[in-house]
Amino acid sequence: MGELTERKSRTREMGRGAAPELIARFIDREFALAVEEFPSSRGRDRDAAKVKAAEFFRAQALAAS
């Protein structure tokens, strides 16, 4: 990670210039891992997920008061 950070410090920000190959490979690997770890939610019942999320946050808010 230290080498990646040091290399990044020598590149330009906001999309100017090409990212060093080492950093590009790191990012590609991280995205590949994320795709495996967090499967797509397409086609799933999003309404049920919204209800569960609302219940969770409501319980957390009540527990904090």
pLDDT at residue 11, as a whole number: 63
Give the distance from CA 56 to its chain's centroid: 21
Q: Name the more confident of 21 and 11.
A: 21
**R_g of the chain computed on alpha carbons:** 20
C-alpha distances in Å from residue 63, one per residue of 51, 53, 59, 60: 18, 15, 6, 5
Residue 49 belongs to what domain range?
2-64
Count the domains in the chain.
Answer: 1
pTM over 0.95: no
Residues 21 and 4: their CA atoms lie apart, in Å, by 10
pLDDT at 59 over 80: yes
